[in-house]
Amino acid sequence: MKKWTMALLIAAVTVISANTAYAAGWVLGQGGWWFATKNDGSAWLADGWYWLDGNGDNLAECYYLDENGYLLTDTVTPDGCTVNGDGAWTEKGQTRVRYAWDVPSYFEEEPEEEEPAGRVIDPDKPMVALTFDDGPYAKVGNQIMDCLAKYGGKATFFVVGDRCASYQTEMKRMAEEGHEIATHTYEHKYLDKLNAAQIREQIDKGVEAIVKYTGVEPTLARLPGGRKNDTVLANVAYPMIQWNIDTRDWETKNTEKTVRAVLDYVKDGDIVLMHEFYTSTGNAVEQIVPELVARGYQLVTVSEMAQARGVQLQAGQLYYSFRP
């Protein structure tokens, strides 16, 4: 820039105090010229060379802005180049310029406000439903949810109704973070040992406990031990979710065996059975989840997977997996 160029800048740019509004571009402050990239002055260029059009002539000069964003003038820059009195890079007495339209834009457009995007499941990508029985149990449940939150996953928790009152905070977290909460009866009694009325009572009271402590109306059930007979099938008025990968974590209580039970056999559409009751399981989840994500799996709830696969879940029916 020449001296008249700086004069044009002064005429074109509002001289501001710290609290005055201004447009993005060159600004003259108490410490000298600086270059705002946002209209509110919350962002600026600093600590290096920048090609900037100083006077709107479609030619850009190369300016050096110090670590605080102020224009260096009539000096040698830290990398040994010379700038003139206007701050433009000179070489052998000539100001270096180029067409402004060859220069990247440093202005940051204000993003338009958008409605937050909901959770999206891609039906064409592999997915797996991690399910956890016998909770709530905050020590392990929160460990599981912490891990899932880190990787953007959701799970289905089949909870026992008479445990919900003791873990209300955990139940509330399950609901707030979008995990699926389903009934595992009220007292974890084997339903094939009960009569019709007793079966309905176990299911109904389990559902009532979930609603009471979360406000969520469950839509799925899991039979304790997966045990069933004709009376059970006739009296459970919910889709009954079984599994096709049984980690047997309740039996081994071994982290590595639980990890291998999943990772050695998992395929697209699987429903994995684990239990929200063992520290070994919580530790296993911390290995299983990142590996599944690394393999490209979406970690979804049972209902999300059914919907993605076009399956309308029916009351009184058993579901083991949603493999393609």
Can you name the CATH fold of 127-319? TIM Barrel (3.20.20)
| Of the candidates 201, 155, 149, 143, the residue with the CA atom closest to the CA atom of residue 182 | 155
Q: What's residue 37's pLDDT? A: 86
133 included as an active-site residue: yes
**Between 104 and 230, the higher pLDDT residue:** 230
Query: Do the two domains 3-102 and 127-319 of this chain adopt the same fold?
Result: no
What angle is formed at CA 146 by the lines to CA 151 and CA 175, rounded to 5 degrees? 100
Rounded to whole angstroms, the Cα distance separating 197 from 315 reads: 17
Q: Where are the domains of the chain?
A: 3-102, 127-319
Average pLDDT over residues 221-244: 98
Kindly report which listed range (103-112, 159-168, 209-218, 232-241) carries the lowest average pLDDT score: 103-112
Rounded to whole angstroms, the Cα distance separating 189 from 245 reads: 22
The pTM of the full predicted model, rounded to 2 decimals, is: 0.66
What's the chain's length in residues?
324
Write out pLDDT tens, residues 295-317: 999 999 999 999 999 999 999 99
What is the amino acid identity at position 111?
P
DSSP output for 194-207: S-HHHHHHHHHHHH
Pick the CATH number of 3-102 from 1.10.150.450, 3.40.1110.10, 1.25.40.10, 2.10.270.10: 2.10.270.10
Average pLDDT over residues 12-16: 35
List all residues 6 or more positions away from 250 whose beta carbon is below 8 Å from its beta carbon: 134, 275, 277, 278
Q: What's residue 16's pLDDT? A: 32
| Res 269 pLDDT > 50 | yes
Name the catalytic one among 133, 134, 249, 270.
133
188 included as an active-site residue: no
| Res 114 pLDDT > 60 | no
Task: Classify burial at 268, counting beta carbons within 10 Å of its beta carbon; exposed 0-12, middle 13-18, buried 19 or more.
Answer: middle
| Res 318 pLDDT > 70 | yes
**Between 28 and 315, the higher pLDDT residue:** 315
DSSP-based three-state secondary structure for 300: strand
| Res 95 pLDDT > 80 | yes
| Res 14 pLDDT > 70 | no
